[in-house]
Structure formats: structure tokens, C-alpha cells
Amino acid sequence: MARILVIEDSAFMRNKIVTILERDGHDIVEADDGIKGLQTALERTPDCILLDLIMPGMDGVKLLRTLRERGAKSPVVVVTADIQESTIRQCRELGAAAVVNKPPSEEELLETVRRVLGKETNL
């Protein structure tokens, strides 16, 4: 399946997301802050990135902007508790392929990742 980078500072949320994605057969790479996430994204070129917005070191919006400035092509799914329309719009303007509210259900997460990867979405 796909190599997916999960950038999330909450160990609980990161483990929940990783477990769901691993059960679906994906190869997971993890980062627990924005700086490590940026470095990993640029070095490993994942097929997809799942990105939290509020993190230490570098927030998700800045990370998304930096990825695009550096020419990274991996599709990004923002996974956030921030449901403000202005935040969602900003993420989309910066090239996010999708925005998913936290905590995501297994079905919603898999459907979104499969759609972003261009895979079949029937669960």
C-alpha cells in the first residue's frame, strides 16, 4: 500500500491514526512535531501526509506552506480539532487535499486517505 507520514504531537491521537492506517495495510512513518515532520516529509517523500495544525516547533499551517514552497508534491490531509471556516479555507488555499475533524472515525479517515491516494473507497 502507501507510505503515509503522520505528523501529530499527541501520542494518543497519533497512535489511534497509525493503528487505523496500519490495519489498512499502509507503511507508516511518524513525527511528533512540525520540525521533525518537515524534515521527514522532505527526506522520505511519502505518498500522503496526515498533518495536525497545533504542534510545538512548527505549526501545521507553516509546515504546509513550507512544503509547498519547497515543491513537495505529497498530498496533505489536515486532521484538526479547529473547525473554523477561516482555518479550513487557509489550509485548502495552501494546497491541503482534505480537512478531517478530530477525532476522525475509522471510516472517515480511511475514506479520505483512499480518495486522496486515488484508491477505491468502498470499505
- What is the DSSP secondary structure assignment for residue 31, as one 8-state letter? E
List pLDDT tens digits, range 36-84: 999 999 999 999 999 999 998 899 999 999 999 999 999 999 999 987 8
Q: What is the mean pLDDT of residues 91-117?
A: 95
pTM (two decimals): 0.93
State whether residue 115 is helix, strand or coil: helix
> Is residue 81 a contact partner of residue 114, using CB atoms and an 8 Å limit?
no
Query: Where are the domains positioned within the chain?
Result: 3-117
pLDDT band per the 50, 70, 90 thresholds, residue 119: low
pLDDT at 87 over 80: yes
pLDDT band per the 50, 70, 90 thresholds, residue 16: very high
Q: Among residues 4, 28, 23, which one has the least CA distance to residue 77?
A: 4
> What's the CATH superfamily of 3-117?
Response regulator (3.40.50.2300)
